[in-house]
Structure 1
Amino acid sequence: MLLIYTQKVTPRIIYIFKHICTHILGIPIKFTSKIEEFIAHDGAKLSYGKQALGNEFFIQKVELLMEQGFSELEIKVQPWDDTICFFPLPDASDLPFDIFAASFYLLSRYEEYLPHVKDEDGRFPASESLAHQESFLHKPVVDIWAIKFRDILLQRFPDLEFVNRKFRVGTIVASEHTFIFKNKGFLRSFIGLWADLFQFNLTKVIDRLQVWIRIKDDPHDIFEDLIQMIKKHKLYMVFMFQLSDFSIHDRNISHNRIPHRAVIKSVADYAKVGLLMGYYAMDNIKVLRKEKLRMEEIVHSPVEDVMNSRFNLRLPDQYNNLTELEINNDHSMGYPDAPGFRAGTCSPYLFYDINMEVTTPLKVHPYAFNSDMVGTVSKTKIKEDLARLLQEVKEVKGIFRGVFSNGDFSRYADQDFYYSLLKQIHEVE
């Protein structure tokens, strides 16, 4: 057990110390504000304040974890051994920077509360982030810092117990369009057919007709192939299905269509199934509740996992809606157009609401790779970036998550390349 002294135990201090010490490193901790208790303790101990009290492990604090709300911060990134750090500290501290304040800044998405320029889809772009501007987006720095902190702490307290982590990988398959031709309804199908004819896309015309008369499977219905991979190689996948009402933004199949529901039920027998939130569900809790109930009615179990289909997180409101509806896991934390770690970590973590200064029960599962990047750079660069990210996560024994869509594996996409990326992540032949 690690005893931690701080003059004032704030919600931010409780949150980030528990995450770094307990959730990542597996070190039990206890807080105290009593100097007598801290000095009398003869085991591992750490003080977090303005000056050391004795022979303990000492980290001089910056004021971020003592504050409330958010304000503009001046951040200077500097090297630390083979990585980087910020919020530097003087030599009196046993670490050259405030690891807890820096980790809180990244995990809480502090910078997304501050004024920033959104992209055309209303998203916080990677280019606005400190990690991108200082060239450490590709590194899970919070996990790197935690491992280095553990090793330094063990030099002082070699009997301190911790838990060894295990490297894991997983894939999320987002199904915004479960079918491309099937079950679209007469009017939509008729308009689609004429659009294909007008563009002289005879391949799609023939495919569409063959799907209609049921002599060929829908090109987007690739779920059985992925299920076979799951069964053969014991892969971990989460499938996100969209069940929103048809609109100009959401053009998926009706949730009442029997084949659509049958696919979801079939997939749920072999993998975890979650909800891909529609456009209006991202901001309207009533719409989100309706979509959640639809999924629960299909799979006959509570919805625990969701993903934002546009990745335009509006923090903290969007996450607070998930918490209010008792949805436990979000898989939207990443950049769809840039490889790397949006929150600086490859470990799941509880979301901290800066507006309310409270740790929420919502667990955020960050991803590092999104197939939307394919086509923006060369295939070789995609493969190299993916290998680099995987290696970074392996070194800290974290969890790697990649995001694909079911359309990636259809015959209208470069399915062989996407399958090769999937196999690269899961290390299967």
Structure 2
Amino acid sequence: MLLIYTQKVTPRIIYVFKHICTHILGIPIKFTSKIEEFIAHDGAKLSYGKQALGNEFFIQNADLLLEQGFSDFEIKVQPWDDTLCFFPLPEASDLPFDIFAASFYLLTRYEEYLPHVKDEAGRFPASESLAHQESFLHKPVVDIWAIKFRDILLERFPKLETKKRKYKTGTIIASEHTFIFKNKGFLRSFIGLFFDLFKLNIGRVIDRLQVWIRIKDDPHDIFQDLIEIIKKDKVYMLFMFQLSDFSIHDRNISHNRIPHRAVIKSVADYAKVGLLMGYYAMEEIRSLRKEKLRLEEIIHSPVENVMNSKFNLKLPDHYSNLTELEINNDHSMGYPEVMGFRAGTCTPYLFYDINMEITTPLRIHPYAFNSTVAENISKNKLQEDLSRMLAEVKAVNGMFRAVFTNQDFSNYGDQDYYYKLLKQIHEIE
């Protein structure tokens, strides 16, 4: 057990020390603000303050974890061996950087609360992030810092117990359009057929007609193929289905269509199923509740996993709605336009609400790769970058998560390429 002394035990300190020490490193910890208890302790101990109390492991603190609310301050990123860090500390500290303050800044998405330039969809773009501007977006720096901290701490306290975790990979399949032709309704189907004929896209016309008369599967219905991969190669996949009302923003088929419900039920027999939130569910808790109840009625179990389909995280409101509806896991933390670690970590973590200064029960599962990046990068470059990032996560025994869509594996997409990426991630021969 590691005893941690700090003059004031704040919610921020509890949150980030538990994440790094307990969740990443497997070190049991206890906090105290009593000097007598700390000095009398003869085991591993660490003080987090302005000056050391004795011969304990000492980390001089930056002020971030003692504050409340927000303040806009200058951050200087500096080299630390083979990585980068910020909040540098003087030589009196046993760590050259306050990794706990730096980790809190990244995990809470502190910078997303501050004024910033949004993209055309109203989102916080990767280009506005400190990690992108300082070229460490591709590294799970919070986990890297934690490992470096562990190694230095064990030099001082070699008997301190730690737990080694296992490297894992996982894939999310986002189904915003479960079918491309099937069950679209007469008017939508007729308009689609008209446009295919107008563009002389005879192949699509033939496919559409064959799907309608049920002699061919819908091209987007590739779920059974992915289920076979799960069964054969024992990979982890989480399927997200959209069940929102039809609108200009959300154009999936109705949640009442029997084939749509049948696909969801079939997938739920072999893999976890979650909710891909529609546009209005991201804006209104009433719409989110409605979509959640729809999925629960189909799968006959509580909805535990959700993803924001447009990746427009309005913090903390988006996560507050999930917490209010007792949804435990969110998978939206990543950038759809670039590869990288939006929160600086490859470890699931609890969301900290800076407005309320509390640790919430909502667990964030960050992803590092979204298949949409393939539209803007060459195949060779993407595979090389993916290999490097997989190696980074493997080095810290983290969790590499990737996001694909069912359309990626359709014969209307570059299915061979996406299957190749899927196999690369899960190391399938």
TM-score range, shorter chain: over 0.9
- Tell me the residue number matched to 1:403: 403
Q: What SS is found at the alignment partner of 1:164?
A: coil
Distance, in Å, in 2 between the alignment partners of 1:194 and 1:120 is: 31
Structure 2 match to 1:143: 143
Q: In the alignment, what sits opposite 1:295?
A: 295
Q: Which residue of 1 aligns with 2:249?
A: 249
Query: 1:334-391: CA deviations, max 9, x gaps?
Result: 0011001000000000000000000000000000000001121100011011111100
* SS at structure 2 position matched to 1:375: helix
> In the alignment, what sits opposite 2:134?
134
State the Cα deviation string for residues 256-298 of structure 1 (Å, max 9, x = none): 0000000000000000000000000001000000000000000
Q: Distance in 2 between matches of 1:420 and 1:176?
A: 22
Residue 155 (structure 1) aligns with: 155
Q: Aligned residue for 1:21?
A: 21
Moved >3 Å (runs of 4+): none
Find the counterpart in structure 2 of residue 305 from structure 1. Answer: 305
Match of 1:335 in 2: 335
Cα separation, 1, equivalents of 2:247 and 2:375: 27
Is residue 124 from structure 1 mapped to residue 110 from structure 2 by the alignment?
A: no
Give the structure 2 partner of residue 267 of structure 1: 267
Pairwise mapping of residues 168-187 of structure 1 onto structure 2 (< 5 A)?
168-187=168-187
Cα deviation 1:86-114 (Å, max 9, x = unaligned): 00000000000101000000000000000
Where structure 2 has 5 or more consecutive residues not aligned to the other structure, the ranges are none
Cα deviations across residues 48-71 of structure 1 (Å, max 9, x unaligned)? 000000000000001100000011
* Whole-angstrom distance in 2 between the partners of 1:406 and 1:107: 30
Distance in 2 (alpha carbons) for counterparts of 1:384 and 1:281: 36
Q: Which whole-Å CA distance do the structure 2 matches of 1:372 and 1:256 have between them?
A: 29
Which secondary structure state, in structure 2, belongs to the residue aligned with residue 360 of structure 1? strand
1:76 match? 76
User: Counterpart in 1 of 2:318?
Assistant: 318
Q: CA deviation at 1:184?
A: 0.3
Distance in 2 separating the partners of 1:31 and 1:229: 46
Aligned length: 429
Give yes or no for the alignment of 1:193 onto 2:187.
no
How high is the sequence identity, in percent, across the aligned residues? 83
Scaled by the length of structure 1, the TM-score of the pair is: 1.00
Unaligned runs of 5+ in 1: none
Cα distance in 2 between the residues matched to 1:361 and 1:201: 50
Report Cα offsets for 1:146-201 as digits up to 9, x if no partner. Answer: 00100000000000001001000000000000000000000110111101111111
CA distance in 1, matches of 2:383, 2:186: 42
Measured in 1, the distance between the counterparts of 2:200 and 2:382 equals 32
Amino acid at match of 1:52: A
- The one-character-per-residue Cα deviations of 1:205-234 (angstroms, maximum 9, x if unpaired) are 110000000011000000000000000001
Rounded to whole Å, the distance in 2 between the matches of 1:420 and 1:181 is: 26
Alignment of 1:193-232 (within 5 A): 193-232=193-232
* Partner residue in 2 for 1:357: 357
Question: Aligned letter for 2:41?
Answer: H
1:29-68, aligned counterparts within 5 Å? Answer: 29-68=29-68
Q: Distance in 1 between matches of 2:121 and 2:357?
A: 28
Distance in 2 separating the partners of 1:126 and 1:385: 17
Alignment of 1:228-243 (within 5 A): 228-243=228-243
